[in-house]
Chains A and B, each alone.
Chain A
Amino acid sequence: DSGVTQTPKHLITATGQRVTLRCSPRSGDLSVYWYQQSLDQGLQFLIQYYNGEERAKGNILERFSAQQFPDLHSELNLSSLELGDSALYFCASSVAAQGSGYTFGSGTRLTVV
């Protein structure tokens, strides 16, 4: 157990639907990161939050949004889902200091049918 908890582990949904992925960071970590891992595009950084505020944005589609709550858990919302959104979505947390690395959760596998 890495200390980063992601739910659900698996999600199957239809095109056009909306889903919410949840992440609880490791105790003491203030930063949360979301990554998408797909076969064709590898690991893509989506977005980072630090202590409730958006800190950095990557290749995140406008149909996707995220937030970090006062208790530091984070949610990634994916809407108007397309087949191409099928991927593994990882959450990671860190103390946001250079050299600290991340601790990853085990991911949510999203399948859009």
Chain B
Amino acid sequence: GNSVTQMEGPVTLSEEAFLTINCTYTATGYPSLFWYVQYPGEGLQLLLKATKADDKGSNKGFEATYRKETTSFHLEKGSVQVSDSAVYFCALSLLKAAGNKLTFGGGTRVLVKP
């Protein structure tokens, strides 16, 4: 089956530090890959996505590159801010006749301290 594995948190950083959250996947087929972010007390928001190998998704200073050879989609940001404190979810989807279900990783909590 399909699955997503991401590093467990919490990840605690100082402001302006470099952030990396590792994500690897297993899929039967050629999935689309996503990063979602969940701020405290809110729903999930799409952060970025990539739909084919070597695509780079980017948004709000975050980047992730679809690496088919390593089945990975690691999230990076060069200089984090306190406002980046949130839970980050890696996810994949495969469109099939049975639907377009998203499979999520377990989430990584990131805490950025001033």
Contacts and interface: CB of A to CB of B under 8 A. Distances in A.
Contacts of B43: 2, 4, 90, 104-107
A42 B99 contact: no
B17 interface: no
Interface stretch (B18-26, B70-78, B88-96): B88-96
A97 B95 contact: yes
A89 to B, nearest CB: 11
Contact of A101 (B42, B46, B94, B99): B46
A90 B110 CA distance: 21
B102 interface: yes
Interface residues of B, number: 23
Interface in B30-85: 32, 34, 36, 42-46, 49, 51
Contacts of A50: 99
Interface string A44-67: 010010100001101000000000
B28 interface: no
Given A45-B102, A56-B98, 20 more contacts: A31-B100, A33-B102, A42-B107, A43-B104, A50-B99, A92-B102, A94-B100, A96-B95, A98-B32, A98-B51, A101-B32, A101-B34, A101-B49, A101-B93, A102-B46, A104-B36, A104-B43, A105-B43, A106-B43, A107-B43
A-B residue pairs, 8 tightest by C-beta: A98-B95, A56-B99, A55-B99, A99-B51, A104-B43, A99-B32, A43-B104, A106-B43
21 contacts: A31-B99, A31-B100, A33-B101, A33-B102, A43-B107, A45-B102, A55-B98, A55-B99, A56-B98, A56-B99, A94-B100, A98-B94, A99-B32, A99-B51, A99-B93, A99-B95, A101-B32, A101-B46, A102-B44, A104-B36, A105-B43
